[in-house]
Structure 1
Amino acid sequence: MGNDLIHIYSVEKAYLAELIKQMLADHNIRAFLVNKQDSAYKFGEIEVFVDRDDVIRAKMLIQEFEDN
């Protein structure tokens, strides 16, 4: 795996970010979440990052996840 992390997805709801992270882990893809929400008002997004080598496969899995 490469060392470069690439932003592949953003979502406003924390539970969806965690579901996506777990789904990617189930497919042996390490995902990292960066919470950019304001702590008081929950404005902003949670960003999902993966290793550069996993970007294409992760995007395909997220698309399948969204379609179901």
Structure 2
Amino acid sequence: MENNWTKVFSTEDPFTAEILKQGLLEQDIPAVVMNQQDSSYKVFGVIHILVHPENLEKAMAYIKDNEIA
């Protein structure tokens, strides 16, 4: 994976992460999920949504417009 990704959102909920990723992809914003949760205990760690730096503002606007928190 390329190293030029920027974190745009973090959550502990895998469903929120996947829904956000799909929403960004539908807006033609390439996005990936980086899951850093413990594989045995899902209560430890976070999940990050990453986008390319040139799409950061567009992704942040999408998150704000859709009130994702």
TM-score, normalised relative to structure 2: 0.86
**Number of matched pairs:** 65
Runs of 4+ in 1 over 3 A off after TM superposition: none
Aligned to 2:11: 11
RMSD: 1.4
Of all paired residues, the percent bearing the same amino acid is: 35
Aligned to 1:47: 48
Unaligned segments of structure 1, at least 5 residues: none
Unaligned segments of structure 2, at least 5 residues: none
State the secondary structure of the residue aligned to 1:16. Answer: helix
TM-score, normalised relative to structure 1: 0.88
